[in-house]
Structure 1
Amino acid sequence: MTKADPRNNYLRGNMAVISTSTRYLPNRDLSFGKLLKYWRHQGGFSQLDLALASDVSQRHISFLESSRAHPSREMVLKLAVVLNVPLRDQNVMLTSAGFDPVYSEGDLLSPELEPIRQVIGFILKQQEPYPALVMDRYWNLIQNNSCCERLINWLIEPEKQLDNFYIDGKINLMRLMLHPQGLKPFIANWSEIACHLMQRVYREAVTAEESNEYITLFHEIQTYPDVIRVWQKTNLDSWQIPLLTVQFVKDNISLNFFTTITTLGTPHDILLQEIRIESLFPADKMTEVNLRTGEWGVT
Protein backbone atom coordinates (compact mmCIF):
# COMPACT_ATOMS: atom_id res chain seq x y z
CA MET A 1 0.00 0.00 0.00
CA THR A 2 1.42 3.38 -0.96
CA LYS A 3 1.49 5.86 1.89
CA ALA A 4 0.37 9.44 1.51
CA ASP A 5 3.10 11.90 0.73
CA PRO A 6 2.63 15.10 2.78
CA ARG A 7 4.50 17.07 0.15
CA ASN A 8 1.69 16.62 -2.35
CA ASN A 9 -0.74 18.74 -0.35
CA TYR A 10 1.44 21.82 -0.64
CA LEU A 11 3.32 21.26 -3.87
CA ARG A 12 0.11 21.42 -5.89
CA GLY A 13 -0.65 25.04 -6.68
CA ASN A 14 2.62 26.27 -5.22
CA MET A 15 5.01 25.75 -8.12
CA ALA A 16 5.53 29.51 -8.33
CA VAL A 17 7.06 29.44 -4.87
CA ILE A 18 9.35 26.57 -5.81
CA SER A 19 10.45 28.12 -9.09
CA THR A 20 11.18 31.52 -7.59
CA SER A 21 12.83 30.28 -4.38
CA THR A 22 16.04 29.60 -6.26
CA ARG A 23 16.80 33.27 -5.82
CA TYR A 24 17.96 32.38 -2.30
CA LEU A 25 20.63 30.02 -3.62
CA PRO A 26 23.93 30.88 -5.35
CA ASN A 27 24.88 29.85 -8.86
CA ARG A 28 26.06 26.24 -8.66
CA ASP A 29 29.29 26.24 -10.67
CA LEU A 30 31.17 22.98 -10.01
CA SER A 31 34.50 23.99 -11.55
CA PHE A 32 37.42 23.44 -9.18
CA GLY A 33 38.37 27.11 -9.20
CA LYS A 34 34.89 28.19 -8.14
CA LEU A 35 34.72 25.52 -5.45
CA LEU A 36 38.11 26.50 -4.07
CA LYS A 37 37.09 30.15 -3.93
CA TYR A 38 33.79 29.23 -2.27
CA TRP A 39 35.40 27.14 0.48
CA ARG A 40 38.10 29.76 1.00
CA HIS A 41 35.39 32.36 1.63
CA GLN A 42 33.51 29.93 3.87
CA GLY A 43 36.60 29.54 6.01
CA GLY A 44 37.28 33.27 6.15
CA PHE A 45 40.61 32.95 4.32
CA SER A 46 42.10 35.52 2.02
CA GLN A 47 44.25 34.17 -0.80
CA LEU A 48 47.31 35.19 1.22
CA ASP A 49 45.98 33.43 4.34
CA LEU A 50 45.42 30.22 2.40
CA ALA A 51 48.81 30.48 0.73
CA LEU A 52 50.58 30.82 4.09
CA ALA A 53 48.54 28.06 5.77
CA SER A 54 49.08 25.59 2.94
CA ASP A 55 52.65 26.58 2.02
CA VAL A 56 51.57 27.41 -1.54
CA SER A 57 52.28 30.66 -3.32
CA GLN A 58 49.51 33.24 -3.42
CA ARG A 59 50.04 33.48 -7.17
CA HIS A 60 49.31 29.77 -7.56
CA ILE A 61 46.15 30.06 -5.44
CA SER A 62 45.00 32.89 -7.69
CA PHE A 63 45.76 30.85 -10.81
CA LEU A 64 43.84 27.84 -9.44
CA GLU A 65 40.76 29.94 -8.70
CA SER A 66 40.81 31.54 -12.13
CA SER A 67 41.41 28.14 -13.81
CA ARG A 68 44.70 29.32 -15.26
CA ALA A 69 46.41 26.45 -13.43
CA HIS A 70 45.29 22.87 -12.86
CA PRO A 71 45.82 21.27 -9.44
CA SER A 72 47.37 17.91 -8.76
CA ARG A 73 45.44 15.36 -6.73
CA GLU A 74 47.70 16.05 -3.76
CA MET A 75 47.14 19.79 -4.08
CA VAL A 76 43.35 19.36 -4.03
CA LEU A 77 43.49 17.31 -0.83
CA LYS A 78 46.05 19.60 0.78
CA LEU A 79 43.94 22.72 0.25
CA ALA A 80 40.76 20.91 1.26
CA VAL A 81 42.28 19.86 4.56
CA VAL A 82 43.49 23.37 5.33
CA LEU A 83 40.02 24.73 4.54
CA ASN A 84 38.35 22.02 6.64
CA VAL A 85 36.18 20.90 3.74
CA PRO A 86 33.85 17.99 4.62
CA LEU A 87 34.82 14.61 3.16
CA ARG A 88 31.86 14.46 0.77
CA ASP A 89 32.76 17.88 -0.61
CA GLN A 90 36.42 16.91 -0.87
CA ASN A 91 35.28 14.15 -3.23
CA VAL A 92 33.38 16.79 -5.23
CA MET A 93 36.51 18.95 -5.44
CA LEU A 94 38.53 15.97 -6.63
CA THR A 95 35.95 15.09 -9.27
CA SER A 96 35.79 18.69 -10.47
CA ALA A 97 39.57 18.60 -10.93
CA GLY A 98 39.37 15.37 -12.93
CA PHE A 99 40.32 12.84 -10.24
CA ASP A 100 38.49 9.90 -8.70
CA PRO A 101 36.96 10.35 -5.24
CA VAL A 102 39.00 8.94 -2.36
CA TYR A 103 36.46 8.79 0.47
CA SER A 104 33.86 6.04 0.64
CA GLU A 105 30.44 6.10 2.25
CA GLY A 106 29.82 3.06 4.43
CA ASP A 107 26.67 1.34 5.62
CA LEU A 108 25.90 1.70 9.32
CA LEU A 109 24.54 -1.86 9.32
CA SER A 110 27.75 -3.35 7.95
CA PRO A 111 29.86 -5.64 10.21
CA GLU A 112 32.79 -3.22 9.97
CA LEU A 113 30.80 -0.54 11.74
CA GLU A 114 29.60 -2.70 14.62
CA PRO A 115 31.81 -0.80 17.14
CA ILE A 116 30.22 2.47 15.99
CA ARG A 117 26.72 1.03 16.40
CA GLN A 118 27.59 -0.07 19.92
CA VAL A 119 28.81 3.40 20.83
CA ILE A 120 25.71 5.05 19.38
CA GLY A 121 23.50 2.62 21.26
CA PHE A 122 25.38 3.38 24.48
CA ILE A 123 24.95 7.15 24.02
CA LEU A 124 21.22 6.78 23.36
CA LYS A 125 20.73 4.54 26.39
CA GLN A 126 22.73 6.81 28.69
CA GLN A 127 20.55 9.76 27.68
CA GLU A 128 17.45 8.13 29.23
CA PRO A 129 15.10 9.37 30.66
CA TYR A 130 15.73 12.26 28.27
CA PRO A 131 15.21 12.03 24.49
CA ALA A 132 18.02 11.42 22.01
CA LEU A 133 18.08 10.59 18.32
CA VAL A 134 20.45 9.91 15.44
CA MET A 135 19.99 11.58 12.06
CA ASP A 136 21.80 11.64 8.74
CA ARG A 137 22.89 14.66 6.71
CA TYR A 138 19.37 15.19 5.36
CA TRP A 139 17.80 15.11 8.85
CA ASN A 140 16.34 11.65 8.24
CA LEU A 141 15.77 9.78 11.49
CA ILE A 142 18.09 6.78 11.76
CA GLN A 143 17.65 5.72 15.38
CA ASN A 144 16.26 7.01 18.66
CA ASN A 145 15.98 6.01 22.29
CA SER A 146 12.75 4.97 23.98
CA CYS A 147 12.09 8.41 25.49
CA CYS A 148 12.36 10.10 22.09
CA GLU A 149 10.02 7.53 20.56
CA ARG A 150 7.57 8.09 23.39
CA LEU A 151 7.77 11.87 22.93
CA ILE A 152 7.03 11.73 19.21
CA ASN A 153 4.26 9.15 19.64
CA TRP A 154 2.70 11.28 22.38
CA LEU A 155 2.56 14.31 20.09
CA ILE A 156 1.56 12.49 16.88
CA GLU A 157 -0.15 9.13 16.69
CA PRO A 158 2.11 6.47 15.09
CA GLU A 159 -0.50 5.77 12.40
CA LYS A 160 -0.49 9.42 11.35
CA GLN A 161 3.30 9.43 11.28
CA LEU A 162 3.23 6.42 8.98
CA ASP A 163 0.56 7.83 6.70
CA ASN A 164 1.93 11.37 6.44
CA PHE A 165 5.67 11.39 7.07
CA TYR A 166 7.27 8.11 6.05
CA ILE A 167 8.79 8.67 2.62
CA ASP A 168 11.01 5.96 1.12
CA GLY A 169 10.98 4.19 4.47
CA LYS A 170 12.34 7.21 6.37
CA ILE A 171 10.91 10.00 8.46
CA ASN A 172 12.43 13.42 7.87
CA LEU A 173 12.74 15.53 11.00
CA MET A 174 12.61 18.86 9.15
CA ARG A 175 9.29 17.93 7.59
CA LEU A 176 8.05 16.66 10.94
CA MET A 177 8.96 19.92 12.70
CA LEU A 178 7.72 22.36 10.04
CA HIS A 179 4.69 20.71 8.46
CA PRO A 180 1.28 21.80 9.82
CA GLN A 181 0.24 18.15 10.13
CA GLY A 182 3.41 17.39 12.06
CA LEU A 183 4.71 18.86 15.30
CA LYS A 184 3.89 22.48 14.46
CA PRO A 185 0.60 22.58 16.46
CA PHE A 186 2.44 21.32 19.56
CA ILE A 187 5.44 23.70 19.52
CA ALA A 188 4.64 26.82 21.54
CA ASN A 189 7.55 28.77 20.05
CA TRP A 190 7.24 27.35 16.55
CA SER A 191 8.05 30.66 14.80
CA GLU A 192 11.45 30.93 16.47
CA ILE A 193 12.21 27.25 15.89
CA ALA A 194 11.09 27.38 12.25
CA CYS A 195 13.33 30.40 11.57
CA HIS A 196 16.32 28.59 13.09
CA LEU A 197 15.64 25.37 11.17
CA MET A 198 15.19 27.20 7.87
CA GLN A 199 18.56 28.86 8.36
CA ARG A 200 20.11 25.43 8.88
CA VAL A 201 18.48 23.99 5.76
CA TYR A 202 19.57 27.02 3.74
CA ARG A 203 23.20 26.72 4.91
CA GLU A 204 23.26 23.04 4.01
CA ALA A 205 21.61 23.67 0.63
CA VAL A 206 24.20 26.33 -0.20
CA THR A 207 27.18 24.13 0.66
CA ALA A 208 25.90 20.82 -0.76
CA GLU A 209 27.12 21.49 -4.28
CA GLU A 210 26.56 17.96 -5.60
CA SER A 211 23.24 17.16 -3.94
CA ASN A 212 19.77 17.92 -5.22
CA GLU A 213 18.15 16.42 -2.12
CA TYR A 214 19.00 19.46 -0.02
CA ILE A 215 17.65 21.77 -2.70
CA THR A 216 14.46 19.73 -3.04
CA LEU A 217 13.90 19.79 0.71
CA PHE A 218 14.66 23.51 0.90
CA HIS A 219 12.18 24.29 -1.85
CA GLU A 220 9.55 21.97 -0.44
CA ILE A 221 9.43 23.33 3.08
CA GLN A 222 9.07 26.86 1.73
CA THR A 223 5.66 25.79 0.46
CA TYR A 224 4.46 24.98 4.00
CA PRO A 225 2.21 27.64 5.58
CA ASP A 226 4.02 30.43 7.46
CA VAL A 227 7.53 29.12 6.80
CA ILE A 228 8.72 31.89 4.48
CA ARG A 229 7.05 34.53 6.65
CA VAL A 230 8.87 33.47 9.83
CA TRP A 231 12.15 32.92 8.00
CA GLN A 232 12.13 36.47 6.63
CA LYS A 233 11.21 37.93 10.01
CA THR A 234 14.00 38.89 12.40
CA ASN A 235 13.03 37.83 15.91
CA LEU A 236 14.89 40.13 18.29
CA ASP A 237 13.18 38.62 21.35
CA SER A 238 14.95 35.27 20.90
CA TRP A 239 18.31 37.06 21.02
CA GLN A 240 17.69 38.06 24.63
CA ILE A 241 18.05 34.47 25.87
CA PRO A 242 21.37 32.58 25.99
CA LEU A 243 20.00 29.45 24.28
CA LEU A 244 17.05 28.73 22.02
CA THR A 245 14.78 26.06 23.48
CA VAL A 246 11.93 24.09 21.95
CA GLN A 247 8.68 24.00 23.94
CA PHE A 248 6.32 21.08 23.31
CA VAL A 249 2.82 21.53 24.73
CA LYS A 250 -0.04 19.02 24.77
CA ASP A 251 -2.82 18.12 27.22
CA ASN A 252 -1.79 20.96 29.55
CA ILE A 253 1.69 19.45 29.85
CA SER A 254 4.71 21.50 28.76
CA LEU A 255 8.11 19.97 27.99
CA ASN A 256 10.85 22.51 27.38
CA PHE A 257 14.21 21.34 25.95
CA PHE A 258 17.58 22.59 24.80
CA THR A 259 19.67 20.37 22.59
CA THR A 260 23.27 19.33 22.01
CA ILE A 261 24.73 17.82 18.84
CA THR A 262 27.37 15.08 18.99
CA THR A 263 29.48 14.00 16.02
CA LEU A 264 32.16 11.33 15.64
CA GLY A 265 35.74 12.56 15.81
CA THR A 266 38.38 12.12 13.06
CA PRO A 267 36.23 10.09 10.64
CA HIS A 268 37.62 8.81 7.34
CA ASP A 269 34.20 7.70 6.13
CA ILE A 270 31.57 10.08 4.75
CA LEU A 271 28.66 8.47 6.59
CA LEU A 272 30.46 8.61 9.93
CA GLN A 273 31.35 12.28 9.46
CA GLU A 274 27.76 13.21 8.65
CA ILE A 275 25.95 11.30 11.41
CA ARG A 276 24.63 13.60 14.13
CA ILE A 277 23.41 12.54 17.55
CA GLU A 278 20.99 15.08 18.98
CA SER A 279 20.35 14.94 22.72
CA LEU A 280 17.50 16.85 24.38
CA PHE A 281 17.89 18.10 27.95
CA PRO A 282 15.32 19.69 30.27
CA ALA A 283 15.40 23.49 30.07
CA ASP A 284 13.43 23.92 33.31
CA LYS A 285 12.71 22.06 36.53
CA MET A 286 9.14 21.09 35.62
CA THR A 287 10.31 19.36 32.43
CA GLU A 288 12.92 17.46 34.40
CA VAL A 289 10.34 16.33 36.95
CA ASN A 290 7.89 15.27 34.24
CA LEU A 291 10.51 13.23 32.42
CA ARG A 292 11.87 11.57 35.55
CA THR A 293 8.46 10.66 36.98
CA GLY A 294 7.26 9.42 33.61
CA GLU A 295 3.71 10.62 34.15
CA TRP A 296 3.49 12.58 30.89
CA GLY A 297 2.09 11.03 27.75
CA VAL A 298 0.15 8.31 29.58
CA THR A 299 -2.85 7.21 27.54
Structure 2
Amino acid sequence: MEIQEPSRVGPLLREWRRRRKLSQLELALRADSSTRHLSCVETGRARPSRELLLRLAEHLDIPLRDRNGLLLAAGYAPAYRESPLDSEPMAMVRSAIRAMLAGHEPYPAAAIDRAWNIVDRNDAMSLLMGTVPPRLAESGGNVMRLILHPEGLAPQCLNFAQVRAHALGRLRHQADTTGHDDLRALYEEVSAYPVPPGLDTDPGPVDPAGIVVPLRIRTPLGDMAFFSTIATFGAPADVTLSELAVESFFPMDERTDALLRTLASMGAQG
Protein backbone atom coordinates (compact mmCIF):
# COMPACT_ATOMS: atom_id res chain seq x y z
CA MET A 1 0.00 0.00 0.00
CA GLU A 2 1.40 3.39 -0.95
CA ILE A 3 2.19 5.82 1.88
CA GLN A 4 0.17 9.04 1.54
CA GLU A 5 1.32 12.59 2.28
CA PRO A 6 1.29 13.39 6.02
CA SER A 7 -1.09 16.31 5.44
CA ARG A 8 -3.82 13.82 4.55
CA VAL A 9 -4.23 12.65 8.14
CA GLY A 10 -5.93 15.86 9.30
CA PRO A 11 -8.95 15.72 6.96
CA LEU A 12 -9.30 11.97 7.57
CA LEU A 13 -9.31 12.45 11.33
CA ARG A 14 -11.81 15.32 11.10
CA GLU A 15 -14.07 13.19 8.90
CA TRP A 16 -14.09 10.36 11.45
CA ARG A 17 -14.75 12.78 14.32
CA ARG A 18 -17.71 14.31 12.53
CA ARG A 19 -19.00 10.88 11.57
CA ARG A 20 -19.02 10.01 15.29
CA LYS A 21 -20.66 13.36 16.09
CA LEU A 22 -17.97 14.44 18.54
CA SER A 23 -16.63 17.95 19.08
CA GLN A 24 -12.89 18.59 19.19
CA LEU A 25 -13.20 19.22 22.93
CA GLU A 26 -14.99 15.91 23.56
CA LEU A 27 -12.47 13.92 21.56
CA ALA A 28 -9.47 15.71 23.06
CA LEU A 29 -10.69 15.00 26.60
CA ARG A 30 -11.28 11.34 25.84
CA ALA A 31 -7.85 10.94 24.23
CA ASP A 32 -5.98 12.88 26.95
CA SER A 33 -4.94 15.59 24.51
CA SER A 34 -5.71 19.30 24.09
CA THR A 35 -8.29 20.92 21.85
CA ARG A 36 -5.59 23.21 20.45
CA HIS A 37 -3.32 20.32 19.47
CA LEU A 38 -6.21 18.36 17.95
CA SER A 39 -7.21 21.43 15.95
CA CYS A 40 -3.65 21.81 14.67
CA VAL A 41 -3.59 18.15 13.66
CA GLU A 42 -6.87 18.43 11.77
CA THR A 43 -5.75 21.55 9.92
CA GLY A 44 -2.34 20.10 9.08
CA ARG A 45 -0.33 22.51 11.25
CA ALA A 46 0.89 19.70 13.51
CA ARG A 47 1.91 16.12 12.86
CA PRO A 48 0.39 13.74 15.41
CA SER A 49 2.49 11.07 17.07
CA ARG A 50 1.79 7.44 16.29
CA GLU A 51 0.62 6.91 19.87
CA LEU A 52 -1.83 9.81 19.71
CA LEU A 53 -3.29 8.57 16.45
CA LEU A 54 -3.89 5.13 17.90
CA ARG A 55 -5.56 6.65 20.98
CA LEU A 56 -7.78 8.84 18.83
CA ALA A 57 -8.69 5.90 16.62
CA GLU A 58 -9.62 3.83 19.68
CA HIS A 59 -11.92 6.54 21.07
CA LEU A 60 -13.46 7.11 17.65
CA ASP A 61 -14.12 3.36 17.31
CA ILE A 62 -12.45 3.35 13.89
CA PRO A 63 -12.24 -0.06 12.16
CA LEU A 64 -8.75 -1.59 12.13
CA ARG A 65 -8.51 -1.28 8.35
CA ASP A 66 -9.03 2.46 8.62
CA ARG A 67 -6.71 2.81 11.60
CA ASN A 68 -3.98 1.54 9.32
CA GLY A 69 -5.10 4.11 6.77
CA LEU A 70 -4.75 6.91 9.33
CA LEU A 71 -1.25 5.78 10.23
CA LEU A 72 -0.22 5.60 6.58
CA ALA A 73 -1.65 9.05 5.96
CA ALA A 74 0.57 10.38 8.75
CA GLY A 75 3.65 8.64 7.37
CA TYR A 76 3.72 5.71 9.82
CA ALA A 77 3.69 1.99 9.19
CA PRO A 78 0.41 0.11 9.73
CA ALA A 79 -0.20 -1.24 13.24
CA TYR A 80 -2.41 -4.15 12.28
CA ARG A 81 -1.61 -6.95 9.90
CA GLU A 82 -4.13 -8.31 7.38
CA SER A 83 -3.91 -12.08 7.02
CA PRO A 84 -5.79 -13.93 4.26
CA LEU A 85 -8.39 -16.25 5.74
CA ASP A 86 -6.71 -19.25 4.07
CA SER A 87 -3.27 -18.38 5.49
CA GLU A 88 -1.45 -20.36 8.20
CA PRO A 89 -1.84 -17.67 10.91
CA MET A 90 -5.63 -17.93 10.47
CA ALA A 91 -5.77 -21.72 10.83
CA MET A 92 -7.21 -21.54 14.36
CA VAL A 93 -9.79 -18.99 13.21
CA ARG A 94 -10.90 -21.24 10.35
CA SER A 95 -11.16 -24.13 12.79
CA ALA A 96 -13.25 -22.04 15.19
CA ILE A 97 -15.57 -20.93 12.40
CA ARG A 98 -16.05 -24.48 11.16
CA ALA A 99 -16.83 -25.63 14.72
CA MET A 100 -19.41 -22.84 15.15
CA LEU A 101 -21.06 -23.61 11.81
CA ALA A 102 -21.13 -27.38 12.29
CA GLY A 103 -22.30 -27.06 15.88
CA HIS A 104 -25.29 -25.01 14.75
CA GLU A 105 -26.71 -27.80 12.57
CA PRO A 106 -29.49 -28.46 11.70
CA TYR A 107 -30.04 -24.68 11.74
CA PRO A 108 -28.55 -22.41 9.04
CA ALA A 109 -25.39 -20.41 9.76
CA ALA A 110 -22.82 -18.58 7.65
CA ALA A 111 -19.53 -16.77 8.18
CA ILE A 112 -19.51 -13.36 6.49
CA ASP A 113 -16.99 -10.61 5.85
CA ARG A 114 -17.53 -6.88 6.31
CA ALA A 115 -19.30 -6.57 2.93
CA TRP A 116 -21.74 -9.41 3.73
CA ASN A 117 -19.97 -11.87 1.44
CA ILE A 118 -20.35 -15.46 2.63
CA VAL A 119 -16.91 -16.99 3.20
CA ASP A 120 -18.16 -20.25 4.73
CA ARG A 121 -21.50 -21.85 5.57
CA ASN A 122 -22.95 -25.03 6.99
CA ASP A 123 -25.05 -27.63 5.20
CA ALA A 124 -28.31 -26.22 6.56
CA MET A 125 -27.54 -22.85 4.96
CA SER A 126 -26.87 -24.59 1.66
CA LEU A 127 -30.21 -26.39 1.86
CA LEU A 128 -32.00 -23.10 2.54
CA MET A 129 -30.37 -21.63 -0.58
CA GLY A 130 -31.37 -24.59 -2.76
CA THR A 131 -33.75 -22.54 -4.92
CA VAL A 132 -31.35 -19.63 -5.48
CA PRO A 133 -29.85 -19.35 -9.00
CA PRO A 134 -26.21 -20.51 -9.07
CA ARG A 135 -24.95 -17.08 -10.20
CA LEU A 136 -26.21 -15.54 -6.93
CA ALA A 137 -24.34 -18.15 -4.94
CA GLU A 138 -21.02 -17.85 -6.79
CA SER A 139 -18.02 -17.71 -4.42
CA GLY A 140 -20.41 -18.32 -1.54
CA GLY A 141 -22.82 -15.50 -2.34
CA ASN A 142 -23.66 -12.26 -0.56
CA VAL A 143 -26.28 -12.17 2.20
CA MET A 144 -27.82 -8.87 1.09
CA ARG A 145 -28.09 -9.98 -2.54
CA LEU A 146 -29.49 -13.38 -1.58
CA ILE A 147 -32.22 -11.81 0.54
CA LEU A 148 -33.15 -8.82 -1.64
CA HIS A 149 -32.52 -9.91 -5.24
CA PRO A 150 -35.81 -10.60 -7.09
CA GLU A 151 -34.39 -13.99 -8.17
CA GLY A 152 -33.05 -14.82 -4.72
CA LEU A 153 -35.05 -15.49 -1.57
CA ALA A 154 -37.27 -12.42 -2.06
CA PRO A 155 -40.12 -14.20 -3.92
CA GLN A 156 -40.29 -16.78 -1.12
CA CYS A 157 -40.22 -14.22 1.68
CA LEU A 158 -43.65 -13.87 3.31
CA ASN A 159 -42.80 -10.60 5.08
CA PHE A 160 -40.51 -9.15 2.43
CA ALA A 161 -41.31 -5.49 3.17
CA GLN A 162 -40.24 -5.86 6.79
CA VAL A 163 -37.14 -7.85 5.94
CA ARG A 164 -36.15 -5.44 3.17
CA ALA A 165 -36.54 -2.37 5.40
CA HIS A 166 -34.51 -4.00 8.18
CA ALA A 167 -31.74 -5.24 5.87
CA LEU A 168 -31.39 -1.90 4.07
CA GLY A 169 -31.39 -0.05 7.39
CA ARG A 170 -28.55 -2.21 8.70
CA LEU A 171 -26.54 -1.80 5.53
CA ARG A 172 -27.10 1.96 5.33
CA HIS A 173 -26.06 2.39 8.98
CA GLN A 174 -22.94 0.30 8.39
CA ALA A 175 -22.04 2.35 5.31
CA ASP A 176 -22.61 5.63 7.18
CA THR A 177 -20.59 4.68 10.26
CA THR A 178 -17.62 3.27 8.33
CA GLY A 179 -17.66 5.47 5.23
CA HIS A 180 -16.55 2.49 3.15
CA ASP A 181 -17.26 2.96 -0.54
CA ASP A 182 -17.89 -0.74 -1.19
CA LEU A 183 -20.66 -0.81 1.42
CA ARG A 184 -22.22 2.34 -0.05
CA ALA A 185 -22.07 0.76 -3.51
CA LEU A 186 -23.67 -2.43 -2.19
CA TYR A 187 -26.44 -0.40 -0.58
CA GLU A 188 -27.09 1.52 -3.80
CA GLU A 189 -27.20 -1.76 -5.72
CA VAL A 190 -29.55 -3.76 -3.50
CA SER A 191 -31.84 -0.84 -2.65
CA ALA A 192 -32.45 -0.42 -6.40
CA TYR A 193 -33.53 -4.03 -6.92
CA PRO A 194 -37.11 -4.24 -8.24
CA VAL A 195 -39.60 -5.77 -5.85
CA PRO A 196 -40.97 -9.08 -7.15
CA PRO A 197 -44.59 -8.87 -8.37
CA GLY A 198 -47.19 -9.33 -5.68
CA LEU A 199 -44.94 -8.34 -2.79
CA ASP A 200 -45.65 -5.30 -0.64
CA THR A 201 -43.05 -2.55 -0.19
CA ASP A 202 -44.61 -0.97 2.91
CA PRO A 203 -43.22 -2.59 6.08
CA GLY A 204 -46.10 -1.16 8.11
CA PRO A 205 -45.91 -0.37 11.83
CA VAL A 206 -43.59 -2.25 14.16
CA ASP A 207 -45.34 -5.13 15.88
CA PRO A 208 -45.63 -4.02 19.54
CA ALA A 209 -45.72 -7.67 20.65
CA GLY A 210 -42.66 -8.67 18.62
CA ILE A 211 -39.11 -8.91 19.95
CA VAL A 212 -37.27 -9.32 16.62
CA VAL A 213 -37.95 -8.84 12.93
CA PRO A 214 -38.45 -12.41 11.68
CA LEU A 215 -37.46 -13.89 8.34
CA ARG A 216 -40.47 -15.85 7.07
CA ILE A 217 -39.76 -18.13 4.11
CA ARG A 218 -42.08 -20.31 2.02
CA THR A 219 -40.57 -23.68 1.11
CA PRO A 220 -41.92 -26.76 -0.70
CA LEU A 221 -42.22 -28.47 2.69
CA GLY A 222 -44.00 -25.57 4.38
CA ASP A 223 -43.48 -22.08 5.76
CA MET A 224 -40.52 -21.39 8.05
CA ALA A 225 -39.75 -18.49 10.38
CA PHE A 226 -36.30 -17.49 11.68
CA PHE A 227 -34.52 -14.94 13.78
CA SER A 228 -30.77 -14.46 13.65
CA THR A 229 -27.81 -13.53 15.83
CA ILE A 230 -24.41 -12.14 14.81
CA ALA A 231 -21.23 -13.21 16.61
CA THR A 232 -17.88 -11.46 16.21
CA PHE A 233 -14.39 -12.25 17.46
CA GLY A 234 -13.32 -10.52 20.66
CA ALA A 235 -10.25 -8.25 20.84
CA PRO A 236 -9.09 -8.72 17.22
CA ALA A 237 -5.62 -7.49 16.27
CA ASP A 238 -5.84 -8.53 12.62
CA VAL A 239 -7.85 -6.65 9.99
CA THR A 240 -9.36 -9.80 8.46
CA LEU A 241 -10.39 -11.17 11.86
CA SER A 242 -11.94 -7.86 12.89
CA GLU A 243 -14.16 -7.96 9.80
CA LEU A 244 -15.40 -11.54 10.20
CA ALA A 245 -18.74 -12.46 11.76
CA VAL A 246 -20.94 -15.54 12.03
CA GLU A 247 -24.67 -15.08 11.43
CA SER A 248 -26.71 -17.90 12.94
CA PHE A 249 -30.38 -18.49 12.20
CA PHE A 250 -32.73 -20.00 14.79
CA PRO A 251 -36.26 -21.36 14.36
CA MET A 252 -39.01 -19.14 15.77
CA ASP A 253 -41.45 -22.00 16.23
CA GLU A 254 -41.63 -25.79 16.55
CA ARG A 255 -42.86 -26.16 12.96
CA THR A 256 -39.73 -24.53 11.59
CA ASP A 257 -37.55 -26.66 13.86
CA ALA A 258 -39.23 -29.84 12.58
CA LEU A 259 -38.90 -28.75 8.94
CA LEU A 260 -35.19 -27.97 9.35
CA ARG A 261 -34.60 -31.40 10.83
CA THR A 262 -36.52 -32.97 7.94
CA LEU A 263 -34.45 -31.01 5.40
CA ALA A 264 -31.25 -32.07 7.15
CA SER A 265 -32.37 -35.68 7.03
CA MET A 266 -33.21 -35.42 3.33
CA GLY A 267 -29.81 -33.84 2.66
CA ALA A 268 -28.03 -36.64 4.50
CA GLN A 269 -29.93 -39.25 2.55
CA GLY A 270 -29.16 -37.47 -0.74
Q: TM-score range by the shorter chain?
A: 0.7 to 0.9
1:133–1:145 Cα contact (<8 Å) kept: yes
Task: Give structure 2 stretches of 5+ with no counterpart.
Answer: 1-6
Q: Which region of structure 1 is more displaced relative to structure 2, 107-116 or 234-243?
A: 234-243
Task: Give structure 1 stretches of 5+ with no counterpart.
Answer: 1-29
Distance 2:59 2:17 in 1: 9
Higher relative contact order, chain-length normalized (CA < 8 Å, sep 6+): 1
Structure 1 position 255 matched with structure 2 position 218: no
Residue among 163, 168, 173 paired with 1:203: 173
Residue among 221, 230, 235 paired with 2:190: 221
RMSD: 2.8
In the TM superposition, residue 60 of structure 1 has moved relative to its aligned partner by: 1.7
Structure 1 position 53 matched with structure 2 position 22: no
Map of 2:46 onto structure 1? 69
Q: Which amino acid aligns with 1:86?
A: P
- Count of residue pairs the alignment pairs up: 259
Which deviations, in whole Å up to 9, do the C-alpha atoms of 1:189-221 show, x marking residues without a partner? 111111121122223333444x54323322222
Map of 1:192 onto structure 2? 162
In the TM superposition, residue 45 of structure 1 has moved relative to its aligned partner by: 3.5
Distance 1:76 1:284, change over 3 A: same
Map of 2:101 onto structure 1? 124
Residue among 271, 291, 294 paired with 2:240: 271
Distance 1:297 1:152, change over 3 A: farther
In the TM superposition, residue 128 of structure 1 has moved relative to its aligned partner by: 1.1
Q: TM-score, normalised by structure 2?
A: 0.84
Residue among 123, 131, 136 paired with 1:165: 136
Percent identity of equivalent pairs: 36
User: What SS does the corresponding residue of 1:237 show, helix, strand or coil?
Assistant: coil
Distance 2:255 2:237 in 1: 42
Map of 1:174 onto structure 2? 144
Which deviations, in whole Å up to 9, do the C-alpha atoms of 1:223-273 show, x marking residues without a partner? 31149xx9x967423565221111111236111111110111111111101
Distance 1:43 1:208, change over 3 A: closer
Q: Which region of structure 1 is more displaced relative to structure 2, 119-128 or 41-50?
A: 41-50
1:151–1:297 Cα contact (<8 Å) kept: no
2:150–2:195 Cα contact (<8 Å) kept: no
Distance 1:234 1:66, change over 3 A: farther
